[in-house]
Structure 1
Amino acid sequence: MKFLKTVSLDQAVNLLNQHCTLPRENEMVKLEDSLGRCLFADLLASEDIPYYNRSTVDGYAVVSLTTQGASESIPVVLKSLGSIPIGTMTTTQVTPEATLYVPTGGMVPQGADAMVMIEDTRVLDDLVLIQKSVPPGSNLVLQGEDVAQGQLVLPKGHCLKSQDIAALASLNQLQVPVLKRPNVIIISTGDEFASPQEELTDGKIRDINSHSLAALCRETGLNPVGTTLVRDDLEEIRSAIRQGLDQADLVLLSGGSSAGERDYTKQAILDLGGDILFHGIRIKPGKPTIGASIQGKAVIGLPGHPVSAMMLFKTLVTDFFREQTRSQVPRVMVKARTRVNFPSQPGRLTCQFLTLSEQDGELFCQPYYSNSALVSQLTQAQGFTLIPEEAEGLDAGTVVDVILL
């Protein structure tokens, strides 16, 4: 079995998008269950936040014009009309001659256009001495200044973070329309895998990819509905793919995608009437990757090496998901300057793992070298950068985008 003509990562994503689809359906979830979910619709504010003028200090509500020229030696004397307990409203109005005490967060009464901090006042019986002048708008938040009714709060496709949950809670948005997660079946292939109940004997190893790929699915916005471990057997792989297509919107395989005599993924796809879109991507690690379409569903065969499988997920699968669902799956990136030369072989996109350090307020990176079969680099490295396939490495001092792990 030979590799077909290899394609670039962008070409691979485009081929999957042209021939395969992921469902775009919505569901309503509780606010407390919406963290990390992607919005299916724009969210607009249903009310002003705040819905009244609110004080940002403990102090006295005033007509700002009457405080002009006030100082400790020559205070402006106002009559006290009492106080407004927090969480209550009042019909009492402030005038140029009178003031009301308002705690932090309390409602600023009608007539007032500023707040004077309590530290800048003195109280004598029913009089308040204002000892500092304030301009209009001082120490208060106006109605709708934070969010105005009808304003776009979060756009469609946005993936919700903890601070977004706070914003939605302030709007009493207790049910959130989100993208329903497409279902994924994960198939690990290999005679070398021991079951979870077996002891490691006779060259057996543990299956890593089922767990790591399922975690990446959840992290991205996909729903892993099942994992299957099969031997390097054409009929077993064919049967697992067939069942996966019945249960899910996307089938991911790891292992069996190379050009060896016991790598059956390609043949199993062809036997099921699939269309091989590409077999081989110009990327390191991860060249032996297969993309196929069976009845409009994507079947992606990832390499068996755990690191290669995870890197292809973070690039190929994530980009396919983003474009199909139009969701803004976040990639946390920073800029860093290379400390040393980064070697790279031209003709393939290189995912280079990195470690980061800071010096004089600037972030620097240097390569973290490890065999692609060693999963420890995913915990030891702090991120990776993509070296373009046309580049012969990177010179020391180059500023690059680092995708944080």
Structure 2
Amino acid sequence: MERITLEQAIEVLVQQTKKQTKTKTVSVFEALNQVLAHDVYAPINVPSFNRSAMDGYAVKASETAGASHETPIKLQVIKQLMAGDYAQLKAESNQAVLVMTGSYIPDGFDAVIRQEDTNYGDEVVELYASVKPFMNYSAIGEDIKQGQLMLQAGTVLTPIHLGILASLGMEKVEVLAPIKVGLISSGSELAEAPEALKPGQIYDSNRFVLTSRLKQLNVEVVFSKKISDDPTAVACFIKEQMKNVDLVITTGGVSVGKKDIMHEVISQLEANRLFWRINMRPGTPVLASLYQDKLMLGLSGNPFAALTTFELLFRPILSQAMHTNTYTCVRKQARFKGTFNKGSKQRRFIRAYYEDGVVSIPTGEHASSVLSSMLGCNCFIDIEAGNAGLAENETVEVVLL
């Protein structure tokens, strides 16, 4: 297939993406950004005991009726309980227990009066206000009830999720193993620090942008390698390494020039070409193929084009592989602020900044070879084919990064 739409390209790639079946068990401390493999049901109540919501006195609410500074009610303080203390008591008439925030509340007491509404008595306490049943009182299971479904499989674990797992007494959790990706940038013009640039050379940035982005998405980067414009060398390297990865991403060599070697690479590998070229700018000459039943995604060598097509194409692949929609690009309607007078026959994605329903374009060069103008950007504006540019206050669709 050639010259297909972005949506068609995504559909093809997702259809060829295998769902991850491998799992691993990690400590809760190591589970951040991992994808939960199975549903988690609460094994205990949280809290597992009735506890005080503040510093004060556990009382029977009915015995506080009518209490005021003018008519205080006196109760005998039979115990003091700090957070973590436990005492098996039998509540009797006109008794109270001094409790701190988080303290166990013994049976028979059904409310807590705050210290500020008392005389802070140690043996006998005077109450200057009344309380209702279960006031300032956290009942068993108030936060989480035993047997409750807390987290669903496919959840990408955040600090809050980890806190919930910890509150359930879970030390370890089973997660999906990250998918494994190999990254290749081709081009004899590419140099890498600390080597000095020769005439006609540029430093390779694509591998650094995409490798770090893959790691940010919790993908295991098995290799990240720069290879010269030699189709045989690239094909041999991929053939040797394909068994170690789930997917290979390449940048460069996908257009129609003499050095656009990836067409020859997939020919030498006898890979199945899925599609070439998408009706969009930047990054039109995306080349997707299947080798050893695994995807190869060839992106443009231009830095912004590589980044754009990576975000739009790889994230749906990742969501499919990891059983979650979390990685899928989020789209929003926004009001455009400013002007953009460059029309385009093709659908176009331009770098922009989105905040509170408003999107604007930073000043700078918009060529696909320019990376620096991505500084300060957090989205792409998706402009339809045949557009004449954008006008002030026009409603546009943005893709959040």
TM-score with structure 2 setting the length: 0.91
1:196-228 residue CA offsets vs partner (Å, 9 max, x unmatched): 342112121111112221112112232111122
* 2:373 counterpart (377, 380, 384): 377
1:258 is paired with a residue whose SS is coil
Alignment correspondent of 1:34: 31
Alpha-carbon spacing, 1:76–1:172, altered in 2? closer, same or farther (3 Å): same
Alignment correspondent of 1:171: 168
Contact kept? 2:18, 2:320, Cα under 8 Å = no
* 2:148 counterpart (143, 151, 165): 151
Alpha-carbon spacing, 1:399–1:127, altered in 2? closer, same or farther (3 Å): farther
Contact kept? 1:61, 1:102, Cα under 8 Å = yes
Count of residue correspondences: 398
Contact kept? 1:16, 1:292, Cα under 8 Å = no
Whole-angstrom CA distance in 2 between matches of 1:292 and 1:118? 71
Whole-angstrom CA distance in 2 between matches of 1:96 and 1:389? 80
Specify every segment of 5 or more residues in structure 2 that has no aligned partner in the other structure, as ranges: none
1:227 is paired with a residue whose SS is strand
Alpha-carbon spacing, 1:80–1:178, altered in 2? closer, same or farther (3 Å): same
Matches within 5 A, 1:240-279: 240-279=237-276
Specify every segment of 5 or more residues in structure 1 that has no aligned partner in the other structure, as ranges: none
Alignment correspondent of 1:338: 336
Alignment correspondent of 2:235: 238
Alpha-carbon spacing, 1:138–1:402, altered in 2? closer, same or farther (3 Å): farther
Alignment correspondent of 1:225: 222
Contact kept? 1:84, 1:101, Cα under 8 Å = yes
1:32-84 residue CA offsets vs partner (Å, 9 max, x unmatched): 11111111111221111110111111001111122232222222222211211
Contact kept? 2:14, 2:316, Cα under 8 Å = no
Identity %: 29
1:345-374 residue CA offsets vs partner (Å, 9 max, x unmatched): 5764432222356xxxx5532113532222
Matches within 5 A, 1:3-402: 5-21=2-18, 23-123=20-120, 126-330=123-327, 336-341=334-339, 348-356=346-354, 364-368=358-362, 369-370=364-365, 371-388=367-384, 396-398=392-394, 402=398
Contact kept? 1:348, 1:388, Cα under 8 Å = yes
- Read off the aligned partner of 2:374 and give its amino acid letter: L
Contact kept? 1:29, 1:176, Cα under 8 Å = yes
Note the C-alpha offset of 1:307.
1.7
Alpha-carbon spacing, 1:335–1:45, altered in 2? closer, same or farther (3 Å): farther
Whole-angstrom CA distance in 2 between matches of 1:273 and 1:289? 18
Whole-angstrom CA distance in 2 between matches of 1:393 and 1:138? 61
2:203 is paired with a residue whose SS is coil
Contact kept? 1:38, 1:328, Cα under 8 Å = no
Question: What RMSD in Å do the two structures reach over aligned CA positions?
Answer: 2.4
Whole-angstrom CA distance in 1 between matches of 2:179 and 2:286? 21
1:310-366 residue CA offsets vs partner (Å, 9 max, x unmatched): 221211011111023213435678775322355675764432222356xxxx55321
Note the C-alpha offset of 1:252.
0.6
TM-score with structure 1 setting the length: 0.90
Note the C-alpha offset of 1:385.
3.5
Whole-angstrom CA distance in 2 between matches of 1:327 and 1:175? 21
- Read off the aligned partner of 2:67 and give its amino acid letter: A
